[in-house]
Amino acid sequence: MKAGIIGATGYGGVELFRLLNSHPHVKQVILFSSSNAGEEFTSIYPQMDTEQNHRLEELKPEEMKEELDVIFLATPAGVSTQLTPELLGGKAKVIDLSGDLRLKDGSAYTKWYKKESASSAILEKSAYGLPEWNKEAIQSADLIANPGCFPTAALLGLGPLVSEGIVDPSSIIIDAKTGVSGAGKNPGAITHFAHLQENFQIYKVNQHQHIPEIEQQLTEWSPETVPVTFSTHLVPMTRGIMATIYLTLKENQTLEELKSYYESCYANEPFVRLRKEGQFPGTKDVYGSNYCDIGITLDPRTNRVTVVAVIDNLMKGAASQAVQNMNLLFQYEEKTGLPDLPVYP
């Protein structure tokens, strides 16, 4: 099997490369880059030196779609909108890690991303690649919209309760925290070490482009869905997302009942792990892995539920979830080529 990565020099791309490079069913990984075509990959990432080194190739969609089995787009917003139409229709299946193809409503994309959206034909074609909730659609698709990092954590945390119809829809608050690798490889004032170290910051308050993605899936689970409150914070660390989710129930339920929804939803999901009562995961518990770890509690003083979901933003929030989707697309065992345990400490 031959895999291609477009945008291989970004953080999502290099993480994809690491995973595909050791995937047992991937014979060859070909790296594409519009800005660095012709260069050795190791001239940009000397640490990615391995026996079989790679040159960054120029993008030739016509050839790529026939010669490759799967193409990953790890590109900034707007690129997939342009490229996807040219990459489809041949042999290759396409997995897009950007936000371009996630929103079924093109006008919502334009509103939140301030860019022209893909055509509705393309948007309809794409399956939302959250395997724990959309496995069938993924398995039969040619085009996957890999979920955003925040929506992955938030939705895996909210799904069992919202899909059950027991949540007061106006009560949902998602207080999210992320490591800085989510901001990408390009240096800027916000990612400068001296600024970020010892600095916990909030950003894009009520304005993050992942909001409509979260609400789209919530609406699918529950038509009562109304706008949610979603805040994003920057943690002085490289990897990891925690979504601390607050909500109230329509009617009182016990913690045991609540936990049972999670257990039945995720009983057969190899990448969701539920914590015992009174225990909550930290982001390092999933570092370098494809896991989403979840803890839940109910406060008897306020009757409010707190759900905590953590992922590695570059893995379950991007690259390893894309490989999980590839496994599903090609009928491989879902865990193939994905690490079984996180890196600790």
Residues 179-198 that bind a second copy (CB under 8 A): 179-181, 185, 187-189, 191-198
With CB under 8 A as the contact rule, the residue among 93, 177, 210, 316 that binds a second copy is 177
With CB under 8 A as the contact rule, the residue among 89, 91, 205, 264 that binds a second copy is 205
Q: Is 299 in the site for a second copy (CB under 8 A)?
A: yes
- Closer to a second copy by Cβ: residue 91 or 195: 195
Distance CA 337, CA 341 (A): 12
Nearest of 3, 64, 39 to residue 330 by alpha carbon: 3
**Chain center to CA of 94:** 15
What is the three-class DSSP state of 254?
A: coil
To which H or E segment does residue 159 belong? helix 149-162
What does residue 73 show for φ and ψ, rounded to 5 degrees? -105, 110
Binding mask 129-168 for a second copy (x = CB under 8 A): ----------------------------------------
The greatest distance separating any two alpha carbons of the chain, rounded to the nearest whole angstrom, comes to: 62
Residues 217-256 that bind a second copy (CB under 8 A): 226-229, 231, 233-240, 242, 244, 246
Residues comprising the chain, all counted: 345
With CB under 8 A as the contact rule, the residue among 81, 297, 324, 327 that binds a second copy is 297
Residues 110-129 that bind a second copy (CB under 8 A): none
What does residue 254 show for φ and ψ, rounded to 5 degrees? -85, 160
Smallest distance from a second copy to CB 18, Å: 5
Residues 305-334 that bind a second copy (CB under 8 A): 306, 308, 310, 314
- Closer to a second copy by Cβ: residue 103 or 118: 103
Gyration radius of the chain over CA positions: 20
With CB under 8 A as the contact rule, the residue among 286, 311, 322, 329 that binds a second copy is 286
Smallest distance from a second copy to CB 49, Å: 5
Residue type, 67: E
Q: Which range of residues in 61-69, 142-150, 254-262, 269-277 is near a second copy by CB under 8 A?
A: 269-277
- Closer to a second copy by Cβ: residue 56 or 88: 56
309-342 as b/e, with b when 16 or more CB fall inside 10 Å?
bbbbbbbbbbbbbbbbbbbbbeebebeebbeeeb
Residues 5-34 that bind a second copy (CB under 8 A): 11, 14-15, 17-18, 21-22
- Closer to a second copy by Cβ: residue 125 or 275: 275
Distance CA 146, CA 9 (A): 18
149 catalytically annotated: yes
Write out the two tokens for 273. 């792990």
Nearest of 292, 282, 281 to residue 320 by alpha carbon: 292
Smallest distance from a second copy to CB 12, Å: 11
CA angle, 194 as apex, 193 and 196 as ends, to 5°?
Answer: 60
Smallest distance from a second copy to CB 13, Å: 11
- Closer to a second copy by Cβ: residue 310 or 328: 310
To which H or E segment does residue 241 belong? strand 241-248
Q: Is 36 in the site for a second copy (CB under 8 A)?
A: no
CA dist 134 to 10, 146, 165, 247, 267, Å? 27, 11, 18, 24, 15
Q: Which of 149, 243, 308, 328 is an active site residue?
A: 149
To which H or E segment does residue 14 belong? helix 11-21
Smallest distance from a second copy to CB 141, Å: 28
- Closer to a second copy by Cβ: residue 139 or 238: 238
Give me the active site residues, please.
149
